[in-house]
Amino acid sequence: MHYVSSRTTTNGRTCTLTTLTTPTVMKGGNAMKLSWKIAAMCTLLIALAAVALAEGGGTLVVPADVTVIEQEAFAGLQDVERIELPSGITEIGPRAFADSTVREIYVPSTVVRIADDALEGSPDARFVSDDALWYGTFKYAVDGDHVVLKKYMGASSSVTPPARIDGLPVTTIGWGCFSGNDRLTKAVIPEGVARIEDHAFTNCTSLTDITFPSTLKTLSTKVFVNCGANATTPFYFVLPDDMEDLVGRNGGANTFEDCNAVL
């Protein structure tokens, strides 16, 4: 089966199941997705398909063949502290873990996109992975007394990165942080950011609106390569007056190579 939806389950609000097993094959296809509210409000559910809830451990392990966590798949899930997603998961849908008691969701490196409201209504929930720390849908690293944003994993078309994380200032937009994000149309870089590193917005082909902070001092090489390529009308990027380091302004192998913005 390619798609498991709420229509294949008991009404979640009256669900008293402790185990739910779905077919591995349905309509000629393999089970590849968990979908809309499949586990919502099933507070007694301890096994979903091949998902196993460890006794006393409060951990839910998603089957290895699942590739997408769909909209509200685990919304309302109670008495589970950790969900482990398998390598092969590529996308996490809107409100996937909303209004739940989940505290940690392990995210494999195969995930390329996470809905920005995936944790809505779950104040204690956070994503974790082997390669980075997480703040919402941003991967980040701590460098001394400041934060470097490493990768935006969200799906919003308009993004304002955090100015502080755990009390530390965000000072750097890291290498490739938004690269290849063709959904992004607007970005507001917060005050306090002083550096935007190489390829941070490379191939953001829909990006036509970006606000730079007065604190910005350095734009590295090829930050905006092919930026705004899908634009049909002129657009403008306004840089701070007192920038200290900008690798070229007019063509060539520099910050704005092949970028359609008017500076």
- In the prediction, which pLDDT does 255 show? 81
Q: Cα separation of 177 and 201, whole Å?
A: 7
- In the prediction, which pLDDT does 173 show? 98
Q: Cα separation of 12 and 251, whole Å?
A: 57
- In the prediction, which pLDDT does 29 show? 55
* φ/ψ (deg, to 5) at 25: -130, 130
Q: Cα separation of 10 and 143, whole Å?
A: 49
Alpha helices in 93-189 (DSSP H): none
- In the prediction, which pLDDT does 30 show? 52
Q: Which domains does the chain have, with CATH numbers?
A: 1-130 (3.80.10.10), 132-263 (3.80.10.10)
Which helix H or strand E contains 139, and what residues bound it?
strand 138-143
- In the prediction, which pLDDT does 152 show? 97
Contact predicate 79/56, CB 8 Å = no
Contact predicate 177/189, CB 8 Å = no
pLDDT digits (tens, 9 = 90+) for 58-96: 788 888 888 889 888 888 888 888 999 999 999 999 999
**Predicted TM-score (pTM) of this structure:** 0.76
pLDDT less than 50: residues of the chain: 1-14, 17-20, 26, 31, 35-36, 40-57, 250-252
- In the prediction, which pLDDT does 28 show? 53
Positions of E strands within 144-196? 146-152, 158-159, 164-165, 168-173, 186-188, 195-196
